[in-house]
Amino acid sequence: MLGWLAWLITTPVFAAEPASEQRLDEVAERGAHVMPFDLEKTVHIFSKTDTGGIPAGDCER
């Protein structure tokens, strides 16, 4: 148990870098082709899970 705790404490944590403005623009452009609503006028809310997220109800307008 002590060995596992030592490993956990010394294991480096890697954070994802923020997306660039260019990448955000690309995502918005692609999303406009597949989403049947205005992305600028909607709010998406997700419930967090261990592997990502699940949409929490309907989109708000």
- Read off the pLDDT of residues 2-50 as tens digits, 9 standing for 90 and up: 676 566 666 666 667 788 999 888 988 887 788 777 767 877 788 888 8
Contact in structure between 60 and 43 (CB atoms under 8 Å): yes
Per-residue model confidence (pLDDT) at position 12: 63
d(CA 16, CA 36): 29
Instruction: Give the Cα separation of 31 and 25 in Å (integer).
Output: 10
Pair 56, 47: CB distance under 8 Å:
yes
